[in-house]
Amino acid sequence: MWGDSLLIVFISICTAFLGEVEKRKEAHGDSLDKQHKKKIEREEERLKNNNRDLSLVKMKSMFAIGFAFTALLSMFNSIFDGRVVAKLPFHPISWIQGLSHRNLPGDNYTDCSFIFLYILCTMSIRQNIQKLLGFAPSRAASKQGGALFATPPSQFK
Amino acid sequence: MSTKNKTTDVASKGKVTESLWTKAFTSNTEWSDKEEFLDVIYWMRQAIGIVLGLCWGLIPLKGFIGILLFVAVNAGVIYLYVSNYQNVDEEEYGGMWEITKEGFMTAFAGFLVTWIIIYTGLHGSESL
């Protein structure tokens, strides 16, 4: 059982890194685009085309991330289906029980399912990795932009 | 040329982090950069969360009292650090609430993960 829990932590570290690497590619594209803007101010037509291409690429990679995460999640979900991966040291409140006791037999609510531990891991590890790599939106941006700049919880789909 | 730039960049970065460490652990530091101070609080929170998770798992603490204690200790330590150790004017950061909120959810999730994993490893076979 401990092996399972550690495996889930490892999985969530891996997926968090995957997401950040994909984002780094995007960010790189962004900076290139800015340089272009300075250099070819007159060629606005070309810039427009570039922008369109860029947003297309961005959209593609966003779809790729979403798709990959959904596929990964459903794969792990079926691998850990019906398995107790951890023992909770507390009784979860009723509306969390649906998550923490998903697809588990019996009604011992201190048993913890894969999805609950995975979500917790993602919440902590992903944010910290973002912060470490410097991809977290700045405080001012997240305050002003609200939902727009908030990290999309795409992997929970 | 580019490698030279890189090395100086790395060196200056090292200097910055070092001074940030000393800044964080000396009392009454002047924080010119708000973001820096909030970052210090953020990482402090994460560290506290993981350490408390380890402790609660080793003791082992069970039930909601563990969560309540975590929230209390976490908020209390940060509050003492901000108001007594650094003597920061909390209004500059939008009130005490903003500082208390900084990185709380992440720290809470990290705390739960360490608590659950240590508890599972040591006491998983016993029933609650």
Number of separate domains in chain A? 1
Stretch A58-69: mean pLDDT, rounded? 88
Between B29 and B6, name the one with better pLDDT: B29
- Residue A152, domain member (yes or no): no
Domain ranges of chain B: 31-122
Average pLDDT over residues B114-126: 85
Residue pLDDT, tens place only, A86-112: 888 888 888 888 888 888 888 888 888
Whether A31 maps to a domain, the answer reads no
pLDDT in tens, B33-87: 778 888 888 899 999 999 999 999 998 888 889 999 999 999 899 888 888 888 8
B-chain residue closest to A118, CA distance: B113
Over residues A116-126, the mean pLDDT reads 89
Q: What angle do CA B13, B14, B16 make, to 5 degrees?
A: 65
* CB contact A117 to B (< 8 Å): yes
Least confident residue range of A11-25, A93-107, B17-31: B17-31
Quick one: which H or E segment has residue A111?
strand A111-112
Identify the domain containing residue A120 by its residue range.
1-23+43-135
CB contact under 8 A, A2 and B117: yes
CB contact under 8 A, B113 and A88: no
Is the pLDDT at A130 greater than 70? The verdict is yes
Is A123 contained in some domain?
yes
Q: Is residue A68 part of a domain?
A: yes
Q: Which of B54, B106, B118, B127 to mutate to test the interface with A (most CBs of A within 10 A)?
A: B106
Domain assignment of residue A59, yes or no: yes
Predicted local confidence at residue A85, as pLDDT: 87
pLDDT at residue B3 is higher than 50 = no
Regarding pTM above 0.80, the answer is: no
A5 close to B (CB below 8 A): yes
For chain B, give percent helix, strand, coil, nearest 5: 80, 0, 20
Q: How far is residue A146's CA from residue A73's CA, in Å, rounded to a whole number?
A: 27
Amino acid at position B28, single letter? N
Mutate to test the interface with A, among B40, B56, B128 (most CBs of A within 10 A): B128
Closest-CA distance of chain B to residue A81, Å: 19
Q: Residue A37 — pLDDT band, cuts 50, 70, 90?
A: low
Structure-token pair, residue B126: 């016993």
- Please say whether the beta carbons of B62 and A90 come within 8 A: yes
